[in-house]
Each structure stands twice: as structure tokens, then as C-alpha cells.
Amino acid sequence: MRSLSACAAGGAEGGAVAESTELPGLGEIGRELVERIRERPLAASLIGLAAGYLLGGGLFSRSTRWLARAAVGALAVPAVREQVFGVARGMWPHHAAAQA
């Protein structure tokens, strides 16, 4: 059995494949993919794990729901806090004039 990089670089195992059967640009995509995986193996592994989790039905699980709520909460808190403080600063004219 050949490795992914060998298949991307050299064609099919056991003989040459006619150029007309290959999709246009497929070889280039394979070479680019192999190059990116070699450059960033950790990122490639994490993308693979995430894809496997989603394809395995993890998208609608309890743990995903909990994680999504935590992420949205962490992202929303600073934005909401800044909006509330902005409105509060505008409510007191003397405070706004003192900072200007």
C-alpha cells in the first residue's frame, strides 16, 4: 500500500493512469494538500478530528450544545458589557464632559 504523498506525486499503484481519466487539477490539489499537512500537522489533525466528530453525529449532542452555549457566552459577555457601559456613560453628561 502506498502513502498519500506517494499517490499524490506518482499516480496509481501498479501502472500509469492515462491523463484523460484524471480530473483537471486533481493532482495539483493532492500535492497542495500534502504540502499543507506537512507544514502544519497539528492543525491538520485538529481539522480531521473536528470533521470526524461532526460526521459521527456529534453536532447535535449534549456536549456540543454545552460547548456552543459556553462559547457564545464567552464571546457575548465582553460585547454586551461594552454596550452597557457605553449607554451608562451617555446617561451622565458631566461624566462625558469630564472625559472630553
pLDDT at 3 over 90: no
Q: What percent of the chain has pLDDT over 90?
A: 21
Same domain as 68, residue 20? no
Helix (H, G, I), strand (E, B) or coil at 55: helix
Same domain as 92, residue 81? yes
| Residue range of the domain that includes 38 | 1-58
Per the CB < 8 A criterion, the answer to whether 9 and 31 are in contact is yes
Mean pLDDT over residues 2-28, rounded? 61
Q: What is the count of structural domains for the chain?
A: 2
Alpha carbon of 88 to those of 25, 42, 47, 91, 96: distances in Å? Answer: 57, 45, 42, 5, 10
pLDDT at 19 over 60: no
**Reported pTM:** 0.43
Same domain as 66, residue 54? no
